[in-house]
């Protein structure tokens, strides 16, 4: 059964994680658009200590969040996001609220993504 489109014309106003995705449009830069994941706020979730989230990881999480929170706001109104690529998370300033865009997405080949995002392979 065809599913009705729930996407808004303007795209997400902020990262929603599950309902957004990134697109690199070349000169138009990195954008967050309606999608199915792969783009989240640049923030690590803090949690209680457990066997899979040890004290060391809690501390690392707090330190990384502290570093991220010290980054000055973007004068152009873009927000910091983690954009998922095969090798990990790519930290980028992303634009929100635009319409659907053509460009490189996380579904493209690793080589194409690396070129678009200028990844250094480290």
Stretch in the footprint of Zn ion (CB under 5 A) among 15-23, 45-53, 68-76, 100-108: 15-23
Q: Which of residues 27-56 bind Zn ion (CB under 5 A)?
A: 32, 39
Separation CA 25–CA 94 (nearest Å): 11
- We find the least distance from the C-beta atom of residue 21 to Zn ion, in angstroms, to be 7
Nearest partner of 28 among 109, 79, 104, 121, judged by Cα: 104
- We find the least distance from the C-beta atom of residue 39 to Zn ion, in angstroms, to be 3
Residues that bind Zn ion in the complex, under the rule CB under 5 A? 15, 20, 32, 39
């Amino acid at each position: 059964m065809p599913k009705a489109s729930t996407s808004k014309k303007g795209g997400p106003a902020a990262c929603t994680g599950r309902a957004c995705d990134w697109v690199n449009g070349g000169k138009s830069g990195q954008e967050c658009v309606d999608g199915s994941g792969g783009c989240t706020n640049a923030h690590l979730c803090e949690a209680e200590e457990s066997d899979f989230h040890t004290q060391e990881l809690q501390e690392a999480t707090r330190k990384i969040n502290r570093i991220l929170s010290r980054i000055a706001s973007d004068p152009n109104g873009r927000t910091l996001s983690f954009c998922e690529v095969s090798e990990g998370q790519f930290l980028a300033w992303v634009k929100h609220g635009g319409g659907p865009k053509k460009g490189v997405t996380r579904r493209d080949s690793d080589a194409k993504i690396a070129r678009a995002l200028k990844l250094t392979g480290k």
